[in-house]
Amino acid sequence: MINNNNNNNTESIILNAMIQNEPCIIKCDTTSWKIKDLFLDSNSNSNNSISNHSFCPDLFCKLYGQEQICVHNDSIDVEQPKLNISINEFITRIKNGEKLYAKDWHLFQFDSNKTIDADNNIDNNIDNNIDNNNNNLYHVPIEFCDDWLNWYWKRCKHGFDDYRFVYLGGKDTVTYMHHDVLYSYSWSLNLYGCKKWTLYSPKDTIHLLKKNTIDEYISDTRDGMYDPEMYPGISKTNPIVLVQEEGEAIFVPAGWYHMVENMGHMNTNPST
């Protein structure tokens, strides 16, 4: 793992992490991120900090409440069927304590003509360009400006798709073991809540396999959540465990399998 060591030069830290292909957590400036207005209380704009603000998705529900969203029910099973429900229903149910989790959610495709201004109003007919920092819900932090996968979708495929995701879930919801799309690296910034990341380097990948298989990987490496006889290699792994607080961005190296646990009451992450 690349250690920050209180170094304020975050660009150098991330560059070093990319070169060594190791995970790293840094603080990012999200002062201008309008996505915060969708999920946090109005006081979240009063200073440069995200912390100590309440989960308040009123504006989000006002803008997108009738849209349908695909969510996972983590109270059942890792292989549970997904649910298609409205955002209003999703927010209501997670507020009531249900373990629902929206993952790999293309919020930015819902309506490219809707953005949020500083007064929490709707601006219509504004081009939602990934390079336009003034009107977007967020902008790519300078530390991760080499955003070549989304550059491809925007420039070569005319915005047909993207790899910009939002994750929104309550306490104890989980993103199970996986590697990122195309074995690329990724970054994820935590707007609200707290996350626990368990990451396995590529040299540990073979140990994540189910016994006598070549393509069945373990989904959950937490104690008591798997059969050691079926996954004997887990004892040979050396995972890196990181806790991501509000306002922190994690760099996830290429080819690293990882699982993520939401530890706070509510968690909101834009990722790419």
Strand-pairing partners, residue 267, are 169
Spatial separation of the C-alpha atoms in residues 168 and 165, rounded to whole Å: 10
Greatest mean pLDDT among 7-11, 30-34, 140-144, 206-210: 206-210
197, amino acid identity:
W
CA–CA–CA angle 220, 226, 230 (5° rounding):
120
Give the H or E element holding residue 19: helix 10-20
pLDDT over 80 (residue 155): no
The CA-atom distances, in angstroms, between 260 and each of 101, 187, 236 are 12, 13, 20
pLDDT beyond 60 at 31: yes
- CA distance from start to end of the chain: 20
254 DSSP assignment: T
Show the tokens assigned to 239.
């995972």
Q: Collect all residues with Cβ–Cβ distance below 8 Å to 13 and sequence separation of at least 6.
A: 2, 4, 7, 24, 26, 143
What whole-number distance in Å separates Cα of residue 266 and Cα of residue 28?
A: 20
User: What does the pLDDT look like over 96-126, one tens digit per residue?
Assistant: 888 999 988 888 776 555 544 434 444 433 3
The pTM assigned to this predicted structure is: 0.84
Contact of 211 with 218, CB cutoff 8 Å: no
Which of the residue ranges 80-89, 93-102, 260-269 would you say has the lowest mean pLDDT?
260-269
Q: Which amino acid is at 74?
A: D
CB crowding 133-160: b at 16 or more within 10 Å, else e: eeebbbbbbebbeebebbeebbeeeeee
Residue 225: pLDDT band (50, 70, 90) is very high
Confidence at residue 42, expressed as pLDDT on a 0 to 100 scale: 57
d(CA 142, CA 27) in angstroms, rounded, equals: 12
